[in-house]
Amino acid sequence: MQVIQHKRLISAAAVSAIMLLLFGYDPCKPVMAADIAAFGDSITEGVGSDTGGYPPKLQDLLNNMVNEGHLVDNHGKAGEATAWGNGRIHSVLESKPYQYILILEGTNDIFFGISLESTQYYLETMINKARNLYNVTPLISNLTPDTRPTTPANRKRIESTYNPMIAQIAEKLDVPLIDLHSAVVQDWNALSDDQLHPNDKGYQIIAETWFDPLQALIQEAEDQNRDGGCFIKTIFP
């Protein structure tokens, strides 16, 4: 037994190198790139931006500061309420094998007479669909400000109704909660030109706020793949 231990024929690194040479891939190399779906309404679509809103800015952050190859696809649809998003999410998640979906939706629901309880139901259903039907990791954000003086807008009471409800969803379903509201509210007049949609300065802050928890999830997945998911390292420590 001692002789066998001392005469180990090949190491994990050597096996990995041989497979890379023979088959063109390294089974122990971590998955470096992620496909990410940015999902929501006009604030995801990028209304108010000259450069496509937050998705391209987030993609640049990931590729410049984490690893290259990440894609953040923009699946925002202006004017959408959660009821329609709950139906649309299927076609988005069936369009390619995403690893993550960023959900930012609900600010339009009041204009369609959708109750707060219904908004909660639709958001929870979207999260469960992503996880259970498509094996996609969801992240959810609370709502950014709407400070327009119009009557339906000021009835939203985002800070006291929608955002606490979204926080409850995140806790209940164990989903990362992204606090976009706090990130922009103090300077909202400078970060929005119409009091509803961010401008490019605002979208940059939104991208940066999504970035931290998302890159942590990507890094965690890479670490698991590197340390625990490579069968060669298990066989040849």
pLDDT of residue 151: 64
pLDDT of residue 213: 96
Q: H/E/C letters for each residue in 127-165?
A: HHHHHHHHCCEEEEECCCCCCCCCHHHHCCCCCCCHHHH
Claim to verify: residue 49 and residue 134 sit in the same structural domain: yes
Claim to verify: residue 101 and residue 16 sit in the same structural domain: no
pLDDT of residue 220: 87
pLDDT of residue 12: 36
Closest CA to 236 of 34, 90, 28, 26: 28
pLDDT of residue 33: 84
pLDDT of residue 143: 98
Question: 235 lies in a domain?
Answer: no
pLDDT of residue 222: 78
Q: By the 8 A CB rule, do 181 and 158 touch?
A: yes
* Mean pLDDT of successive 10-residue stretches along the chain, which has 237 residues: 31 42 44 87 97 97 85 98 98 97 97 96 98 98 93 81 98 98 98 97 98 92 65 40
Write down the number of H helices and E strands in the chain. Answer: 13, 5
Number of folded domains in the chain?
A: 2
Claim to verify: residue 127 and residue 221 sit in the same structural domain: yes
Closest CA to 43 of 192, 215, 148, 162: 192
* Domain housing 8: 1-30
Claim to verify: residue 12 and residue 79 sit in the same structural domain: no
Q: By the 8 A CB rule, do 144 and 181 touch?
A: yes
pLDDT of residue 7: 34
Claim to verify: residue 14 and residue 95 sit in the same structural domain: no
pTM score above 0.85: no
Question: 231 lies in a domain?
Answer: no
CATH of the domain at 88: 3.40.50.1110
Claim to verify: residue 79 and residue 90 sit in the same structural domain: yes
Residues 6+ apart with CB under 8 A from 132: none
Paired tokens of 130: 């992503």
Claim to verify: residue 64 and residue 116 sit in the same structural domain: yes
